Amino acid sequence: MGVEVQIEGLTKSFGRQNIWADVSFTLPAGEISVLLGPSGTGKSVFLKTLVGLLKPEQGHIMIQGRDLTRLSERELYEVRKLFGVLFQDGALFGSMDLYDNVAFPLREHTRKSESEVRRIVMEKLDLVGLAGDEHKLPGQISGGMRKRAGLARALVLEPEIILFDEPDSGLDPVRTTLLNHLIVDLNQQTGATFLIVTHDINTARTVPDNIGLIYRRHLAMFGPREMLLSSQEPVVRQFLNAQRQGPIGMAEEKDASELEAEAASGQELPPLPPIPLQMQPLNGEPRPAERPPGEWCRRNGVVPPPGSFAPAGGFTTPADWPRLQDGTVHGGADPRADTVVLERDRAARDWRHDG
């Protein structure tokens, strides 16, 4: 099972360059969280700091009552066993086949016999859909398969916290969707705590339980998915809905003249798009942090954008909002059911064609 991670007042600089300051939030145990932000805001630096590879100037990282920022290297070595990391490029050894790549952490950090190593490696390769590919070299497979091999390696030590550094980087939309399904499935099967750094807005809108946004060297907001997807805060609204209007420009921040011209134009902000249903595990089992669609909005008196939480038909207008209060849409039918079936069938058909 996953563990809770508490980040308190974390600040990181390189020399005089402040990367981010006073970042505080909690990763709930067993849930999927996504961390977003414009390019160059230090999201990957945050992951390296979280796992203890970089030391912050200030703040605390609390896991199971221990502050990672105060531990010795020997103590950090033990705590890092709680973590699994999927790097952007998979970080596979090019001279090793997939089997040896996945086996590497087991041989380096455990005293397991080769028969036990083989059992675990084959189990993890099967889990990510790579059974039968174990003797291929990284250069012989697609980018999507390399990502999955990297994920299998991240899983072999049974981590309780898994970090994903832009897992969709370099993948086309189809492979990104397949990888997202795999992430959701693995979260359901392992119960581990997941943190994903990504630029992919569709991933951020459909995969996580929680979303955070770093902007101008600070954490702009962190909270439940529905809170951010219904937020009127300018930076959050602009980034999560890929809108042109807002404070973010080609540089990280628009200058004053751009903002004044935008305000003077009198152009209204486009409406918020509907909040989509969360991606569900393909086995039909509930997510570890399963919540009824619209629960956060209902509890906080927020009317979501028209069309929210409906795959096709169903809850489409504010007038339909009360129908979510008892968790029913269209006379009790779960609006996710058809989506889950269609996605399961499509993924099963495409999975082995990830060439």
Supply the DSSP string of 301-346, one letter for each residue: TPPPPTTTT-SSSSS-SGGGGGGGTTT-BTTTB-TTHHHHHHHHHH
Q: Could you tell me if 211 and 94 lie in one domain?
A: yes
Same domain, 115 and 34: yes
Average pLDDT over residues 106-135: 94
The rounded distance, in Å, linking the Cα atoms of 181 and 354 is 14
Q: Do residues 80 and 220 share a domain?
A: yes
Per the structure, how many domains does the chain have? 2
**Would residue 341 count as lying in a domain?**
yes
**Does some domain include residue 236?**
no
Whether 281 is in a domain gets the answer no
**Residue 29 exposure: Cα atoms within 13 Å on the Cβ side:** 9
CA–CA distance, 134 with 165 (Å, rounded to integer): 24
> pLDDT at position 265, please?
58
Region for 169 from its dihedrals, namely left if φ exceeds 0, alpha if ψ lies in -120 to 50, beta otherwise: beta
Residues 221 and 79 reside in one and the same domain: yes
- Among 225, 249, 271, the domain boundary falls at 225
Locate 311 and state its tokens. Answer: 């795959």
Looking at the structure, do residues 195 and 323 belong to the same domain, yes or no?
no
| Interval 331-352 mean pLDDT | 42
Q: Give how far the C-alpha of residue 253 lies from the chain's centroid of Cα atoms, to the nearest Å.
A: 25
Residues 43 and 180 in one domain: yes
> Does residue 127 share a domain with residue 30?
yes
In this structure, are 203 and 93 located in the same domain? yes
**C-alpha pair distances (Å), 151 with each of 18, 126, 140, 347:** 31, 12, 17, 18
pTM of the model: 0.83
Residue 287 falls within a domain, yes or no? Answer: no
Q: Are residues 217 and 307 in the same domain?
A: no
Residue 185, helix vs strand vs coil: helix
pLDDT, tens digit, for every residue of 287-324?
999 899 999 999 999 989 888 998 754 444 444 444 44
| 180 lies in the same domain as 300 | no
17: helix, strand or coil:
strand
Tell me: the pLDDT tens digits for 205-252? 999 999 999 988 899 999 999 999 999 888 888 888 777 776 776 555
Q: Write the CATH number for 99.
A: 3.40.50.300
Selected residue with higher pLDDT from 235 and 29: 29
One domain for residues 38 and 127: yes
For residue 128, the Cα-to-chain-centroid distance in whole angstroms is: 17
Domain boundary among 199, 225, 251: 225
For the record, the structure tokens of 90 come out as 């998979």
- Residue 49 belongs to a domain: yes
User: Which of 271, 249, 277 shows the shortest CA–CA distance to 337?
Assistant: 277
Count of beta carbons in the 10 Å neighbourhood of residue 308 = 26
Give the confidence band of 171 by pLDDT, cuts at 50, 70, 90: confident
pLDDT for residue 254 = 47
258 inside domain: no
- Whether residue 161 is contained in a domain is answered as yes
Q: What is the largest distance, in Å, between two alpha-carbon atoms of the chain?
A: 70
192 and 327, same domain (yes or no) = no
Q: Looking at the domain assignment, is residue 270 inside a domain?
A: no
- Last residue in a domain, options 225, 245, 275: 225
Q: Which domain holds residue 315?
A: 295-353
Identify the band that residue 272 occupies on the pLDDT scale cut at 50, 70 and 90: confident
